[in-house]
Copies of this chain bind each other. A is one copy, B any other.
Amino acid sequence: MITRTQRDDAVEAALEYFRKASIALTEDEKQRIEVADFGLGRLKEIGLELLTYVNTDRVCAKELILFPWQICPEHRHPAVAGEVGKEETFRCRWGEVYLYVPGPKADSPRGRPPTDAAEYMTVWHEVVLKPGDQYTLMPNTLHWFQAGPEGAVVSEFSTRSRDESDIFTDPRIGRETVISG
């Protein structure tokens, strides 16, 4: 749970990242920025700010903002209603992001999840994305990512997004952000 003030502050901070990345938004879009705390109430550590540009039956495009060291926790996109799961490409636009996927574990990973959350980060193959770098994830691939010291702006190009179907490794997580106060 986060308070309305925390949510509003996160939106303001996210707007600053859009400016840093020189990404133009309409006034309507600025009002539509979402703040996801994954129900954990510790947004600055584990959370995500995002703007969905388009999400039809076939195509989705979003812009993701991560504050410094902010983590999008480990999850995967399973098949839903007989349809193959979500496929997504992450393209770093600004800052730096450390993406973790299945594969040989990094010797000295740059990502540093909080101790109580680290047990739910089970994949440790590291992909470092700097501006212009991108990585494509096929459906149902476990992944999590964390911004570097400056935060990050990441474009996501994907098939239809159904966030409510995502399966998180951490059983404490719900996708819904609850705003209090």
Contact = CB atoms under 8 A, between A and B. Distances in A.
B61 A157 contact: yes
Looking at chain A, what size class is its interface with the partner chain?
20 to 34
Interface of A: 21-26, 29, 53-54, 56, 58-61, 84, 87-89, 91-94, 131-134, 136, 155, 157-159
Q: How many of these chains are in the complex?
A: 2
A154 to B, nearest CB: 12
Contacts of A155: 61
A29 B132 contact: yes
Nearest to A158: B59
Contact of A25 (B25, B132, B157): B132
Contacts of A59: 59, 87-89, 157-159
